[in-house]
A and B are shown apart, each in its own frame.
Chain A
Amino acid sequence: MATETTAGTASTSTCVVDGSAVGMPQLCFDWWPNQIFWLIVTLVVIFFFLSRIALPRIAAVLAERQGTITNDLAAAEDLKAKAVEAEEAYNKALADARAQAQDIVNQTKAEIKAELDDATAKADAEIAAKAAEGEEKIAEIRANAMESVKDVAKDTAKELVSVMGGKADARSITAAINARMKG
């Protein structure tokens, strides 16, 4: 690549002629001590800054972040468990409430039924009583009517007999009417 390489014996002037490089400046050994000296200084300074300040600090930050993330994950896990627990409690409460509501419904139904039965029974009894009373009255009325019929028949028969010129005694008329009415 380079047309001529300058040997280490040359002074600065052999590497640079008229402001431009002769061959490869990389192989100008006049400059090597200077470069090596400043490189060592640079490396020592960078090494100092990195190993004393930057790297421990970054390691600490990374560790801290890892810790924070772990803690947050644990907290999230905790909260999740709590949420599940709360959901379970809610579901349980819901089921309980449902059961209770069912109970109340059943109880109320039973109560209403009992009341209804009671009322029905009472009403039945009343109706039966009323019916019996009515029947009694009807029987009474019928008996009265029979008596009235008997009386009317007796009177009518007596009148009839007397009109026809006979004379009938009350006893025989009554017996005749009773026999007729039975027949």
Chain B
Amino acid sequence: MATEAQGEEGGLVFHPMDQFIVKPLFGDGPVGLFTITNVTLWMALTVVAVVLLMVLGTSKRSTIPGRMQSVGELAYGFIYKMVEDVAGKDAVGFFPYIMTLFMFIVFANFLGLIPMSFTTTSHFAVTVLLALLVFVTVTVVGFVKNGAGFLGLFWVSSAPLALRPILAVIEIISYFVRPVSHSIRLAGNLMAGHAVIKVFAGFAAIAVVSPVSVLAITAMYGLEVLVSFIQAYVFTILTCVYLKDALHPSH
């Protein structure tokens, strides 16, 4: 899909994956652990956006909120209610953690929609770490809160006895697949959308096709706006669901 299209259609050049290249901001050296790269820049912008909305936006502490404060309170209420409803009342201690995940993902996704920007959440390195954080947290919390009783999550007591070992194998596999699907869902959605936009943009080089191409990009962009929010929402609500399993492992 990526580079082989080059040259086959004459002047058309497709580089849909180039937007995901990590490169140093200053100079051309190799990307080391602490190198300041475009990843650093766009993550820093994410932090700036979160701070702008959640800290500066609420700095007036007005009883009748302004625009920014309303949005901040909306985000707060949205995630708080989600944690409370999905994971249960005893999970509100994890609210700041889940809020951090949601705010980071949602802002990274939306900043990635700015043309020429770099989408940090389209990288598996980022989403895998996020998913592993959730996985490790959930597993540790499950064992700390319930001890060995957490293993009851894999022993489906409502099923017939003969089926339980088979179900246990399935449950264990599905438990360990969680971080994989959790991370690939987010990065895959964003990467695919951005790459498709780039491919459509490549077709715009042909004058006859370019109006269709522009329309298609516009439509895809609208879809991507939806996907940006929905994927952040899905990631967060799945985190809540997994957390519920850790706190109340009984089926």
Contacts and interface: CB of A to CB of B under 8 A. Distances in A.
Interface string A52-74: 01110111111011001000000
Given A39-B125, A46-B50, A46-B104, A58 B76 contact: yes
Contacts of A90: none
**A interface, over-half SS:** helix
A58 B125 contact: no
B125 A31 contact: yes
B245 interface: no
A55 B22 contact: no
Contacts of B96: 47, 50-51, 55
B180 interface: no
Name which of B22, B31, B77 has the most chain A CB atoms within 10 A of its CB: B22
B51 A49 contact: yes
A22 interface: yes
B251 interface: no
Contacts of B100: 43, 46-47, 50-51
A100 interface: no
Nearest to B187: A26
A39 B126 contact: yes
Interface in B167-194: 187, 191
A24 B16 CA distance: 10
Contact of A49 (B54, B76, B77): B54
Interface string A12-50: 100110011111111110111111111111110111011
Name which of A19, A27, A47 has the most chain B CB atoms within 10 A of its CB: A47
Contacts, number: 158
A25 B1 CA distance: 13
A31 B1 CA distance: 22
**B interface, over-half SS:** helix
Contacts of A21: 2-3, 15, 17-18, 20-21
> Interface size bucket, B side?
35 or more
Interface stretch (B33-41, B143-151, B234-242): B33-41
A140 B20 CA distance: 149
A12 B33 contact: no
A58 B73 contact: yes
Interface string B1-36: 111100000000001011011110000001111110
A47 B96 CA distance: 7
B34 A37 contact: yes
Nearest to B53: A54
Interface stretch (B55-63, B155-163, B215-223): B55-63
B120 interface: yes
B208 to A, nearest CB: 26
A46 to B, nearest CB: 5
Contact of B125 (A11, A35, A60): A35
A172 interface: no
A2 interface: yes
B47 to A, nearest CB: 5
Name which of A23, A57, A60, A68 has the most chain B CB atoms within 10 A of its CB: A57
B17 A25 contact: yes
B191 A34 contact: no
Nearest to A26: B124
A165 B61 CA distance: 151
Contact of B43 (A32, A42, A47): A42
B122 A26 contact: yes
A34 B39 contact: yes
A76 B185 CA distance: 51
Interface of B: 1-4, 15, 17-18, 20-23, 30-35, 37, 39-40, 43-44, 46-47, 50-51, 54-55, 58, 61-63, 65, 69, 72-73, 76-77, 95-97, 99-100, 103-104, 120, 122-126, 129-130, 133, 187, 191
Given A58-B58, A65-B63, 12 more contacts: A12-B30, A21-B20, A22-B2, A24-B17, A33-B32, A35-B125, A39-B129, A42-B46, A49-B47, A50-B99, A55-B54, A61-B62
